[in-house]
């Protein structure tokens, strides 16, 4: 399901804030769909959720839980 | 667990700068004290509260914006707290949360404080969702205990708590008499040292061993040095050989006439054992994925060992040169690496073998290539990527840990 622009923005904010997406040092922030899918997969994997790369209800609920403000180390680059 | 850094001392001070309004001062203070106690009960750390002046770790509560903190909070829920890694020491809690103790309501201050102190001590977030160091707050737990991953993380940084050492440290603090400690071996320079052992370990990490120290080798150079016993508790330094088998998940370390077996960083019951059926004082060991066997090397000979079957060693040792053509006798270390090639190390050189197990053209090469060390120039003492003795000193606490004292 395509995300509404507000939710998409919130998801991107979350993925950026906690280190699942890396803000480019130069140029505009314009993530490709595969970047976001990959970041969602990393988040789902680290959260013991079904890994789909899609924004589903479980993922949405997980992102709303209270948490620590430090970044997570769980993107594919750090795993590698 | 992920490690973000460490303090170069184990006796730390902390100061509570302010308290939340939702808890009585005594209850809040007790929760914060307990947060430190979780860590000091499993690692050789001590925490002493100071009421004034500078402290290593400083705890405070602030709202959405603080003139003293560049990271804003976001009101109730969402982000609860944040902390700096060593050796900065700031621990901040969101003042807009409903901080509680002893109830499922609100947010438990003790557990969140323990998590943030974990960051302040050098732990990153854990991938175990049940661990204290998981990024998401799992709610109040009346019988809260650290997860094994939390314990493994803090002990990887500071070693294991030793009751005898704790008493000793207490006496030292009271009497200010210096302890008699056994000196560790000199800290090696990964870029110039001869190796004791090399191992492609679990999760594809390459470990190099020399004396009492071990470090990992990455594409960007050698990692920080750790005491061998800080990673593998109960394991001595100056090893003869080390080998990890992906087939069994076992790591075997050899020294003299003894063999140690670990799964990850935990020693298997019954080990160390006496090495009976192969000769003592081995030179090297490697796992060969082609036939899933472990090869043990000494002098000019080798033994092929099947970890899961009774091996007939009567026809061993066999000459190394019959199987591995062109490699030196008495290698310092050997391993099959993640590129599928077999490597041998001796002195300051290493050899790569091709698929026919012959030494590849262009070898031996200098170990500095293997370690990804950049050559030093006469007018430059510390190029980026080099691990010079001076730079490693800043990373490591060279004081022998409690575990080391017992081992020595």
- Measured at the CA of B162, the angle between CA B156 and CA B168, to 5 degrees, comes to 125
- What's the per-residue H, E or C state across B143-190? CCCCCHHHHHHHHHHHCCCCHHHHHHHHHHHHHCCCCCCCCCCCCCCC
| pLDDT above 50: residue B398 | no
Which residues, at least 6 apart from B67, have a Cβ–Cβ distance to it below 8 Å?
none
| pLDDT above 60: residue B177 | no
Chain A with chain B: Cβ pairs closer than 8 A = 55
pLDDT of A27 reads 61
| Burial grade of B21 (CB within 10 A; 0-12, 13-18, 19 or more) | exposed
pLDDT of A64 reads 94
| pLDDT above 60: residue B395 | no
Q: d(Cα B275, Cα A25) in Å, to the nearest integer?
A: 56
Q: Are B334 and B294 in contact (CB under 8 A)?
A: no
pLDDT of B406 reads 24
Identify the top-confidence range among A6-10, A28-32, B16-20, B389-393: B16-20
Kindly state whether B137 is in contact with chain A, defined as any CB-CB distance less than 8 angstroms: yes
- What's the per-residue H, E or C state across B332-362? CEEEECCCCCEEEEECCEEEEECCCCEECCC
Considering the candidates B49, B97, B101, B116, report the single residue annotated as catalytic.
B116
- Whether residues A73 and B125 touch (CB distance < 8 A) is answered with yes
pLDDT of B77 reads 93
Give contacts of A66 with chain B, Cβ < 8 Å.
77-80, 97, 107, 136-137
- Whether residues B80 and A46 touch (CB distance < 8 A) is answered with no
pLDDT of B179 reads 30
Share of chain B above pLDDT 90, in %: 55
Give contacts of A73 with chain B, Cβ < 8 Å.
2, 124-125
Nearest chain B residue to A78 by CA distance is B2
For chain A, list residues whose CB is within 8 angstroms of any CB belonging to chain B.
18, 46-48, 62, 64-74
Which residues, at least 6 apart from A2, have a Cβ–Cβ distance to it below 8 Å?
none
| pLDDT above 60: residue B168 | no
pLDDT of B181 reads 37
With cut-offs at 50, 70 and 90, classify the pLDDT of residue B243. very high
| pLDDT above 70: residue B349 | yes
CB neighbours (10 Å) of residue A78?
A: 13
When scoring B108, B125, B149, B219 by the number of chain A Cβ atoms within 10 A, the one with the most, hence best to mutate, is B125
- Whether residues A69 and B80 touch (CB distance < 8 A) is answered with yes
Q: Which of B79, B83, B127 sits opposite A67 (nearest CB)?
A: B79
Nearest chain B residue to A18 by CA distance is B135
pLDDT of B383 reads 31
3-state secondary structure of B266: strand
Q: d(Cα B90, Cα B315) in Å, to the nearest integer?
A: 63
Q: Are A51 and A41 in contact (CB under 8 A)?
A: yes
Q: Which of A62, A66, A70 sits opposite B125 (nearest CB)?
A: A70
- Whether residues A67 and B124 touch (CB distance < 8 A) is answered with no
ipTM confidence score: 0.89
Q: How far is the CA of B124 from the CAs of A2, A9, B86, B156, B218, in angstroms?
A: 34, 27, 11, 12, 20
Per-residue pLDDT tens for B181-215? 356 677 888 888 889 999 999 888 899 999 999 99
- Whether residues B136 and A65 touch (CB distance < 8 A) is answered with yes
Q: d(Cα B242, Cα B225) in Å, to the nearest integer?
A: 17
Q: How far is the CA of B83 from the CAs of A66, B1, B31, B120, B372, in angstroms?
A: 16, 17, 17, 6, 33
Give contacts of B80 with chain A, Cβ < 8 Å.
66-69
The DSSP H or E segment spanning B33 is: helix B25-40
- Whether residues B124 and A74 touch (CB distance < 8 A) is answered with no
Give contacts of A70 with chain B, Cβ < 8 Å.
82-83, 119, 124-125, 135
With cut-offs at 50, 70 and 90, classify the pLDDT of residue A8. confident
When scoring B127, B139, B153, B203 by the number of chain A Cβ atoms within 10 A, the one with the most, hence best to mutate, is B127
Give contacts of B127 with chain A, Cβ < 8 Å.
46, 74
Per-residue pLDDT tens for B44-97? 999 999 998 889 999 999 999 888 887 889 999 999 999 998 989 999 999 999
Strands in B318-319's sheet, in edge-to-edge order, are B284-288, B293-298, B301-305, B318-319
pLDDT of B164 reads 53
Per-residue pLDDT tens for B97-153? 999 999 999 999 999 999 999 999 999 999 888 899 999 999 998 889 999 999 999
Nearest partner of B34 among B119, B121, B109, B131, judged by Cα: B109
Per-residue pLDDT tens for A46-62? 888 999 999 999 999 99
- B116 counts as catalytic: yes
Kindly state whether B1 is in contact with chain A, defined as any CB-CB distance less than 8 angstroms: no
Kindly state whether B124 is in contact with chain A, defined as any CB-CB distance less than 8 angstroms: yes
CB neighbours (10 Å) of residue B116?
A: 25
- Whether residues A66 and B83 touch (CB distance < 8 A) is answered with no
| pLDDT above 50: residue B176 | no
pLDDT of B163 reads 62
């Amino acid at each position: 399901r395509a995300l509404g622009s507000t939710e998409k923005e919130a998801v991107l904010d979350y993925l950026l804030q906690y280190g699942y997406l890396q803000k480019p040092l130069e140029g505009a922030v314009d993530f490709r769909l595969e970047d976001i899918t990959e970041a969602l997969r990393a988040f789902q994997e680290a959260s013991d959720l079904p890994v789909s790369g899609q924004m589903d209800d479980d993922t949405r609920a997980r992102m709303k839980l209270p948490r620590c403000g430090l970044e997570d180390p769980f993107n594919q680059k750090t795993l590698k | 667990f992920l490690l973000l850094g460490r303090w170069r001392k184990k006796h730390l001070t902390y100061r509570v700068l302010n308290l939340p309004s939702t808890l009585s001062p005594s209850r809040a203070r007790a929760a914060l004290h307990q947060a430190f106690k979780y860590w000091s009960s499993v690692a050789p750390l001590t925490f002493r509260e100071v009421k004034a002046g500078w402290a290593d770790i400083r705890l405070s509560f602030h709202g959405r914006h603080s003139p003293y903190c560049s990271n804003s909070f976001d009101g109730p829920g969402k982000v609860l707290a944040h902390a700096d890694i060593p050796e900065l020491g700031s621990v901040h809690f969101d003042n807009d949360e409903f901080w509680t103790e002893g109830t499922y309501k609100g947010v438990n201050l003790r557990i969140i404080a323990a998590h943030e102190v974990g960051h302040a001590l050098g732990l990153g977030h854990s991938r175990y969702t049940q661990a204290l160091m998981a990024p998401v707050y799992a709610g109040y737990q009346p019988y809260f205990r650290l997860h094994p991953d939390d314990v493994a993380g803090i002990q990887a940084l500071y070693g294991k708590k030793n009751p005898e050492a704790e008493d000793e440290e207490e006496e030292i603090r009271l009497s200010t008499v210096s302890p008699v400690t056994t000196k560790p071996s000199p800290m090696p320079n990964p870029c110039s040292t001869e190796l004791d052992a090399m191992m492609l370990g679990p999760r594809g990490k390459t470990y190099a061993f020399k004396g009492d120290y071990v470090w990992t080798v990455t594409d960007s150079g050698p990692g920080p040095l750790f005491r061998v016993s800080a990673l593998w508790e109960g394991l001595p330094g100056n090893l003869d050989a080390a080998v990890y088998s992906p087939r069994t998940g076992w790591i075997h370390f050899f020294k003299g006439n003894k063999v140690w077996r670990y799964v990850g960083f935990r020693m298997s019951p019954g080990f160390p054992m006496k090495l009976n059926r192969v000769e003592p004082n081995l030179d090297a060991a490697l796992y060969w994925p082609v036939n899933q066997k472990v090869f043990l090397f000494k002098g000019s000979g080798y033994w092929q060992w099947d970890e899961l079957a009774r091996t007939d060693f009567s026809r061993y040792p066999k000459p190394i040169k019959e199987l591995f053509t062109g490699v030196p006798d008495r290698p310092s270390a050997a391993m099959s690496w993640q590129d599928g090639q077999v490597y041998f190390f001796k002195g300051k050189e290493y050899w790569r073998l091709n698929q026919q197990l012959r030494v590849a053209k262009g070898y031996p090469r200098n170990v500095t290539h293997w370690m990804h060390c950049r050559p030093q120039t006469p007018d430059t003492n510390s190029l980026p990527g080099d691990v010079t003795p001076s730079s490693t000193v800043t990373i490591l606490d060279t004081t022998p840990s409690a575990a080391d004292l017992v081992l020595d």
